[in-house]
């Protein structure tokens, strides 16, 4: 997908003014944070489970060459095919070739962030193939012609009314009215059943690639992935190389931390492992099974200082806990992955040039790292990316000068304290009557939407010095 990350500032301001979006984000903040916490409180040894999951992934990454080759030979052994794609364009080309060889006119898809990353739908559609997203959230944004705004709830930015309006425009509803969530879901069920049953090729993502068995793991609540992997003649799974785990038991170990972190459930309705074409005597299942493995700069990440990011299992809990994401939503970030994990991945995958602003969309509060089930040091990596931004001279001039001036000031404590004392005194005088200040010369961005409370007394440093003097005299 094309990146619009360079427009982060304009897009985030717009998002802050969007009342619909703000109402949904408030709901998200209150809902998912609480659900995750409640789920984790029920698991007494969650920390231990996290540590194990992390160790599994670290071992796999350190031996990724071995497990990728094992996965490949297991898939081949069970009658499937493995394809290697270095870039997004490679993946799209390979998938299109498979579809064309199968004479496919209709494709159903279950949710895949990799297909979002490569922009697969556009390529298939341009070749005249009908592509239908079957995850309800993905289906909604496909109708709206928008990218996902959250990596597990792609349409969370849509209100119920907006979904009803979309269905009215795209479905033949006749006299029927949609009102409740149930009526919307029933309508989608009816329309998508047709698609499932008439598709030639089904494309799914993969939460896990199991090296030992050559199976892909799918974690869903809807069951759309299972129908996509079972009913069409051909099943294609698209996945990035770091999704490999050695054994099915390792997939289960990751699942124990993935689902509570993602949705606050102990487990999703469906956790499924698929691989190979239908076996002799099987009444259903595809005739062909393909896996396309995507690199897209991940080998570079593996080699460098951002390897820890490859532990990420896409639970999205860092998005749900980020004060920036929950204020501006996913579209502001301008590409496929938003929030803290997206602000690390986007520059590494699309280049610093377009995406260098994203690592600045961070208040350094550290919540993302605190809740991450895989212990990914997101704040450190965001800081490192900001350092790279500065080294490459990409930091906007105003920020660079401002930060340089601030650094100089901090290196001279006497001047800093003097300045702080003067500023405090000046602000105190400015806000004397009202107790707050409506506008200040260099802080108009801040005071445009709120007032600055005026300082009440002396600076902290002054008070500290005074206290120490008193303490010292008290000891005498």
Partner 1 sequence: MNEQDVRKQDREKILGGVRSAVRKDPGHLASVEDLAKYWKSRPSAPRPPVGDDLVETFSSRIQEFASTVVRLDSLEAVPRYIAEYAGTGEDENITLVTGEDPRLENLPWDTAPEIRREVRKAERTDNIGLSQAFCAVAESGSIVLLSGKADPTSNDFLVDRHIILLAEDDIVPYHEDAWKRIREAGSSMPRAVNFISGPSSTGDVDLTLQVGVHGPRTLHVVIVPSNPS
Q: Measured from the CB atom, is 1 or 155 closer to partner 1?
A: 155
In the complex, least distance from residue 99 CB atom to partner 1, rounded to whole angstroms: 16
Quick one: how far is CA 351 from the chain centroid? 17
By the rule CB under 8 A, 182 interacts with partner 1: yes
In the complex, least distance from residue 9 CB atom to partner 1, rounded to whole angstroms: 28
By the rule CB under 8 A, 276 interacts with partner 1: yes
In the complex, least distance from residue 316 CB atom to partner 1, rounded to whole angstroms: 12
**Intra-chain end-to-end CA distance of the chain, in Å:** 72
In the complex, least distance from residue 312 CB atom to partner 1, rounded to whole angstroms: 17
- Of residues 342 through 381, those in contact with partner 1 by CB under 8 A are none
Quick one: how far is CA 346 from the chain centroid? 10
Reference 215, options 301, 130, 152, 274; nearest CA is: 274
By the rule CB under 8 A, 177 interacts with partner 1: no
In the complex, least distance from residue 270 CB atom to partner 1, rounded to whole angstroms: 6
In the complex, least distance from residue 68 CB atom to partner 1, rounded to whole angstroms: 7
| Region near partner 1 per CB under 8 A, out of 268-276, 334-342, 398-406, 442-450 | 268-276
In the complex, least distance from residue 385 CB atom to partner 1, rounded to whole angstroms: 19
In the complex, least distance from residue 103 CB atom to partner 1, rounded to whole angstroms: 19
In the complex, least distance from residue 439 CB atom to partner 1, rounded to whole angstroms: 38
- Of residues 106 through 145, those in contact with partner 1 by CB under 8 A are 134-137, 140
By the rule CB under 8 A, 149 interacts with partner 1: no
Could you give the CA distance from residue 136 to residue 155 in angstroms, rounded to a whole number?
A: 8
- Of residues 435 through 474, those in contact with partner 1 by CB under 8 A are none
Q: Measured from the CB atom, is 270 or 416 closer to partner 1?
A: 270
By CB neighbour count within 10 A (0-12 exposed, 13-18 middle, 19+ buried), where does 81 fall?
middle
In the complex, least distance from residue 97 CB atom to partner 1, rounded to whole angstroms: 9
Could you give the CA distance from residue 190 to residue 375 in angstroms, rounded to a whole number?
A: 42
- Of residues 241 through 260, those in contact with partner 1 by CB under 8 A are 241, 247-249, 252-253, 255-256
In the complex, least distance from residue 304 CB atom to partner 1, rounded to whole angstroms: 8
- Of residues 186 through 225, those in contact with partner 1 by CB under 8 A are 186, 188-189, 192-193, 196-197, 213, 215, 221-224
In the complex, least distance from residue 269 CB atom to partner 1, rounded to whole angstroms: 4
By the rule CB under 8 A, 100 interacts with partner 1: no
Could you give the CA distance from residue 454 to residue 433 in angstroms, rounded to a whole number?
A: 10
Could you give the CA distance from residue 229 to residue 243 in angstroms, rounded to a whole number?
A: 18
Q: Measured from the CB atom, is 274 or 333 closer to partner 1?
A: 274
By the rule CB under 8 A, 36 interacts with partner 1: no
- Of residues 395 through 414, those in contact with partner 1 by CB under 8 A are none
Reference 137, options 220, 208, 215; nearest CA is: 220
By the rule CB under 8 A, 287 interacts with partner 1: no
- Of residues 293 through 352, those in contact with partner 1 by CB under 8 A are 293, 295, 299-300, 302-303, 307
| Region near partner 1 per CB under 8 A, out of 123-131, 181-189, 376-384, 464-472 | 181-189
Could you give the CA distance from residue 424 to residue 89 in angstroms, rounded to a whole number?
A: 57
| Region near partner 1 per CB under 8 A, out of 7-15, 261-269, 418-426, 450-458 | 261-269
By the rule CB under 8 A, 45 interacts with partner 1: yes
> Can you tell me which of 147, 205, 277, 373 binds partner 1, judged by CB under 8 A?
277
| Region near partner 1 per CB under 8 A, out of 275-283, 342-350, 394-402, 409-417 | 275-283
Kindly list the distances between the CA atom of residue 425 and the CA atoms of 320, 346, 419, 459, 460, in Å, as whole numbers in the listed order.
40, 44, 10, 9, 13
Q: Measured from the CB atom, is 2 or 194 closer to partner 1?
A: 194
By the rule CB under 8 A, 274 interacts with partner 1: yes
| Region near partner 1 per CB under 8 A, out of 153-161, 319-327, 347-355, 378-386 | 153-161
For partner 1, how many residues bind (rule: CB under 8 A)?
A: 99
Kindly list the distances between the CA atom of residue 155 and the CA atoms of 14, 138, 147, 304, 313, in Å, as whole numbers in the listed order.
18, 7, 9, 34, 20
């Amino acid at each position: 997908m094309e990146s619009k990350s360079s427009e982060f500032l304009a897009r985030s301001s717009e998002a802050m003014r969007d009342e619909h979006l703000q109402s949904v984000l408030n709901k998200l903040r209150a809902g998912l944070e609480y659900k995750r916490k409640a789920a984790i409180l029920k698991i007494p040894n969650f920390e231990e489970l996290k540590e194990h999951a992390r160790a599994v992934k670290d071992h796999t990454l350190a031996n990724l060459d071995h497990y990728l080759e094992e996965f490949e030979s297991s898939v081949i052994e069970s009658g499937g095919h493995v394809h290697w794609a270095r870039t997004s364009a490679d993946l799209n080309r390979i998938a299109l070739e498979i579809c064309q060889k199968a004479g496919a006119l209709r494709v159903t898809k279950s949710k895949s962030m990799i297909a979002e990353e490569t922009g697969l739908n556009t390529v298939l559609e341009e070749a005249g193939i009908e592509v239908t997203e079957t995850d309800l959230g993905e289906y909604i944004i496909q109708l709206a012609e928008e990218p996902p705004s959250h990596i597990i709830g792609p349409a969370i930015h849509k209100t119920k009314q907006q979904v009803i309006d979309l269905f009215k425009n795209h479905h033949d509803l006749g006299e029927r009215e949609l009102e409740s969530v149930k009526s919307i879901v029933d309508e989608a069920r009816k329309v998508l059943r047709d698609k499932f049953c008439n598709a030639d090729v089904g494309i799914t993502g993969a939460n896990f690639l199991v090296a030992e068995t050559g199976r892909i793991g799918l974690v869903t609540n809807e069951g759309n992935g299972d129908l996509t992997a079972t009913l069409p003649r051909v099943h294609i799974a698209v996945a990035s190389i770091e999704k490999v785990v050695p054994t099915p038991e390792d997939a289960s170990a990751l699942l124990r931390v993935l689902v509570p972190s993602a949705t606050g459930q102990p487990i999703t309705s469906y956790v499924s492992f698929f691989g190979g074409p239908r076996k002799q005597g099987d009444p259903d299942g595809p005739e062909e099974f393909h896996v396309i493995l995507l690199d897209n700069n991940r080998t570079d990440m593996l080699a460098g200082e951002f390897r820890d990011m490859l532990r990420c299992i896409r639970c999205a809990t860092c998005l749900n806990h980020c004060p920036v994401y929950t204020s501006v939503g996913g579209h502001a970030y301008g590409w496929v992955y938003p929030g803290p994990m997206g602000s690390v991945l986007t520059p590494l995958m699309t280049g610093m040039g377009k995406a260098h602003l994203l690592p600045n969309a961070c208040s350094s509060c550290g919540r993302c790292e605190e809740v991450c089930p895989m212990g990914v040091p997101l704040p450190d990596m965001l800081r490192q990316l900001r350092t790279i931004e500065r080294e490459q001279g990409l930091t906007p001039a105003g920020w660079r000068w401002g930060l340089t001036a601030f650094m100089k000031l901090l290196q001279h404590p006497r001047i800093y304290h003097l300045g702080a004392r003067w500023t405090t005194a000046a602000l105190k005088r400015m806000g004397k009557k009202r107790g707050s200040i409506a506008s200040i010369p260099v802080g108009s961005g801040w005071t445009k939407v709120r007032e600055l409370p005026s300082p009440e007394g002396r600076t902290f440093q002054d008070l500290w010095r005074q206290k120490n003097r008193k303490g010292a005299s008290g000891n005498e």
